[in-house]
């Protein structure tokens, strides 16, 4: 059972109300009180200083082109060429993924591409201006080396598909899609339908990326496809 104060000197308040009772305080109590007051004063000074001198990074804005909204801030295109959209088509915002967030785009296949040295994924969509349901999704994987890019490509090569090859790359069409490896990059262009409109855009995509991506000599095994 808890005991009450040993003496009147130990009592701070009387039982009824909050009337002050004690007449004196120990040196320890005075010192603790002084420290607390000093800390509160220091905190007040710090708050006032930070209010007058805010961190510039908290007020920084993304740099955008004149007339462009912050929601459409410029993204580094990296190896993705300009001019991918034919007349009557338009390009949506380019997004770039790295190993820390690629799962947001290819959840379930993240491990596959990471097993081939995944470094970056550049993703964008091309759509017809008068028919937004007609579109082509473009995925460009940077896998670090030609061997890694060819490995990922080979693992997704459909049965019966024979790639076209030249000295620095391989490629093939599959109904409404186009796949290509040049150097360290693996390109997938996936159309929303299998029709001449999509095929025309896929051919244009092939031409633009063939010009833009730097090829490298193929390993000897892939030389068998050249001829």
Structure tokens at 208: 């633009």
Query: Which secondary structure element, helix H or strand E, spans residue 124, and what is its range?
Result: strand 120-128
9 Cβ neighbours under 8 A, 6+ residues apart: 22, 23, 24
Domain coordinates in residue numbering, the chain = 8-52, 70-225
Which pLDDT score is estimated for 124?
A: 96
CATH of domain 70-225: 3.40.1000
Per-residue pLDDT of the chain (227 residues; tens, 9 = 90+): 555 555 555 555 555 555 555 666 677 776 777 778 777 777 777 677 666 666 554 444 443 344 444 344 567 899 999 999 999 999 998 999 999 999 999 888 999 999 999 999 999 999 999 999 999 999 999 999 999 999 999 999 888 788 888 878 899 999 999 999 999 999 999 999 999 999 999 999 999 999 999 988 887 766 665 55
Burial of 209 per CB tally in 10 Å (0-12, 13-18, 19+)? buried
Which pLDDT score is estimated for 19?
A: 58
Structure tokens at 142: 């940077």
Helix, strand, coil percent content, the chain, rounded in steps of 5: 35, 20, 45
Which pLDDT score is estimated for 165?
A: 83
């Amino acid at each position: 059972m808890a005991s009450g104060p040993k003496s009147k000197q130990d009592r701070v308040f009387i039982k009824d109300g909050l009337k002050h009772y004690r007449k004196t305080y120990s040196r320890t109590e005075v010192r603790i009180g002084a420290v607390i007051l000093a800390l509160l004063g220091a905190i007040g000074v710090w708050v006032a200083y930070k209010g007058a001198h805010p961190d510039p990074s908290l007020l920084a804005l993304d740099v955008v082109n004149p007339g462009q909204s912050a929601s459409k801030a410029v993204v580094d295109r990296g190896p993705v060429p300009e001019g991918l959209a034919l007349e009557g088509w338009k390009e949506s915002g380019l997004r770039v993924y790295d190993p820390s967030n690629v799962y947001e785009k290819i959840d379930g296949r993240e491990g596959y591409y990471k097993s081939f040295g995944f470094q970056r994924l550049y993703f964008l969509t091309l759509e017809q201006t008068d028919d937004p349901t007609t579109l082509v999704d473009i995925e460009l994987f940077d896998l670090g080396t030609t061997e890694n890019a060819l490995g990922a490509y080979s693992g997704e090569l459909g049965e019966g598909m024979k790639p076209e090859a030249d000295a620095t790359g391989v490629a093939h069409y599959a109904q409404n899609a186009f796949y290509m490896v040049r150097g360290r990059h693996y390109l997938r262009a996936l159309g929303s339908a299998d029709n001449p409109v999509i095929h025309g855009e896929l051919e244009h995509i092939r031409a633009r990326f063939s010009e833009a991506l730097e090829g490298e000599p193929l390993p000897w095994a892939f030389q068998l496809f050249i001829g």
